Amino acid sequence: MFDTKMTVKKNIAILGSTGSIGTQTLDVIRANPDAFAVEVLTGNGNADLLIKQAIEFDPNTVVVADESKYQYVKDALSSHDIKVFGGNKAITEVVQMDNIDIVLAAIVGYAGLESTLSAINAGKQIALANKETLVVAGDIVTALAKQKGVNLYPVDSEHSAIFQCLVGEFHNPIEKIYLTASGGPFRGKDSAFLSSVKKEQALKHPNWEMGAKITIDSASLMNKGLEVIEAKWLFGLKPEQIDVIVHPQSIVHSLVQFTDGSMKAQMGLPDMKLPIQYAIGYPDRMKSDFPRFDFMKYPHLTFEQADTKTFRNLALAFDAMNKGGNAPCVLNAANEIAVAAFLKDKIGFLQMSDVVEKSLQTVSHIAKPSYEDYVETDKETRRVAIALI
């Protein structure tokens, strides 16, 4: 029998290669050198790691977003046949290169929106790790992707789980999806406890290894709130079709319920490299040496309702999704400012929700925003949130 799988390498642009998702993507590529080639690497301020990655993977192009690091990176790579550029504008331009097959969008936060839109506009397939892109401007992003015939392959473990459950089921309507949440390091804690927690405690996630911003979001359940909004756009769902359930073991990554009442779940050990590999390797399931799940080590899988009264961010995210328009954009921008302030010990853990809630109340609502409206909403919200802090 002949092997019918394609042997042509996929050329990948990794936006945010020095971050948690970016470095794990390079781990996947390192383990599959016959399947993938790195065409573009972009990073922000970690110039030394970006240089090291470029020397190992020999991309066509490297972009350092922090322009003050441009000359340093350029000099370090001067003996290599690698083009070097600086600044965010360069990222939006290089993603349109003809020889890129798929763009791994892993720039954290609102900053990843423009480059993702640019890549979609150029007809590039997207492995989407930047949930904020859909939170902020899901209507524009999904409409453009449909127009350009671009697939958005989810990298978030929960959305990857839903996507995997839907393979072979795309003609069958979804009744409901359940996004699972670990509950983070403060599951079961009350407001009195949360009022005094420090960033060091919030950065200790029980199951996942992630960057600082997403780890704080996971501790406050804002990450799950952003994922709820992302799921709405990725899978074309109504708000009432999405629910969140706390699953402390992080083995069931999410579930789909169909109109006949049947449910599908995707399971596995908590390892981001699996959804990354699935997204960039789709439609093939590529062989891996990832650790395998052992039922005997997890004899009890438990589920419980999310506490939206204590962890108000999740409730605020559902409110923003229901309100629609630019409300999710406000939610995201205020949260980015609040998390940054918490990480600098300027505000307490519970105050992050206060900043988000007051920003949602203050910034003018736009029911049907344009791209320019989203840009202005993001700027205005950041001003408001900073003033609140």
| Structure confidence by residue, pLDDT tens digits, 243-285 | 999 999 999 999 999 999 999 999 999 999 999 999 999 999 9
Q: What is the pLDDT of residue 282?
A: 96
Query: pLDDT for 302-326, tens place per residue?
Result: 999 999 999 999 999 999 999 999 9
In whole angstroms, give the CA distance from residue 57 to residue 281: 18
Q: Is the pLDDT of residue 7 over 80?
A: no
Q: Is the pLDDT of residue 340 over 90?
A: yes
Mean pLDDT of 201-214: 80
Whether the ω angle into residue 283 lies within 30 degrees of 0, i.e. cis, is: yes
**What is the per-residue burial (b if ≥16 Cβ within 10 Å, else e) of 65-79?**
bbeebbebbbebbee
Confidence of residue 8 (pLDDT cuts 50, 70, 90): confident
Place 6 in a pLDDT band, splitting at 50, 70 and 90: very low
Q: Is the pLDDT of residue 42 over 60?
A: yes
Query: Distance between CA atoms of 347 and 340, rounded to whole angstroms?
Result: 9
Residue range 216-233, pLDDT digits in tens: 999 999 999 999 999 999
Residue 22 has pLDDT above 80, yes or no: yes
Distances (CA, A) of 371 to 93, 137, 178, 324, 329: 18, 8, 30, 15, 11
Give the chain's length.
389
The alpha carbon of residue 136 and the mean position of all alpha carbons in its chain are separated, in whole angstroms, by 12
Extents of the domains making up the chain: 10-154, 159-267+292-306, 324-389
Output the pLDDT for position 209: 67
Topology given in CATH for the domain delimited by 10-154: Rossmann fold (3.40.50)
> Which residues are 176's β-sheet partners?
257
Pick from 77, 356, 318, 13: nearest CA to 216: 356
CA 1 to chain centre: 40
Contact between 374 and 136 (Cβ < 8 Å) = yes
Q: Alpha carbon 109 to chain centroid distance?
A: 8
Half-sphere exposure of 342 (CA within 13 A, CB side): 33
What top-level class would CATH report for the domain 324-389? mainly alpha
pLDDT value, residue 212: 87
List, in sequence order, the alpha helices (H) in 149-260: 157-166, 191-194, 199-202, 212-220, 222-234
Q: What is the pLDDT of residue 18?
A: 96
Integer CA distances (angstroms), 73 to 18, 44, 52, in order: 14, 11, 10
Q: What value does the mean pLDDT take over residues 6-31?
A: 93
Token pair 């573009």 in the structure block, residue: 40
Average pLDDT estimate for 65-88? 97
- pLDDT 10s digits, 141-197: 999 999 999 999 999 999 999 999 999 998 999 999 999 999 989 999 999 999 999
Q: Residue 86 pLDDT > 90, yes or no?
A: yes
pLDDT in tens, 108-151: 888 899 999 999 999 999 999 999 999 999 999 999 999 999 99
Q: Give 2 or 213, the one with higher predicted confidence.
A: 213
Residues β-bridged to residue 244: 179
- Three-state DSSP at 184 gives coil
Each residue of 47-75: pLDDT tens digit?
Answer: 999 999 999 999 999 999 999 999 999 99
Residue holding tokens 């988000």? 356
pLDDT reading at 1 higher than 60:
no
Q: What is the mean pLDDT of residues 25-38?
A: 97
Which pairs from 382-387 meet CB under 8 Å and 24+ separation? 382/333, 382/334, 382/336, 382/337, 384/334, 384/358, 384/359, 385/333, 385/334, 385/337, 385/338, 385/355, 385/356, 385/359, 386/337
pLDDT of 3 reads 41
pLDDT at 2 over 50: no
Share of the chain above pLDDT 70, in %: 97
Sequence-ordered list of residues with C-beta below 8 angstroms from that of 321, at least 6 positions apart, any chain: 228, 229, 232, 239, 327, 328
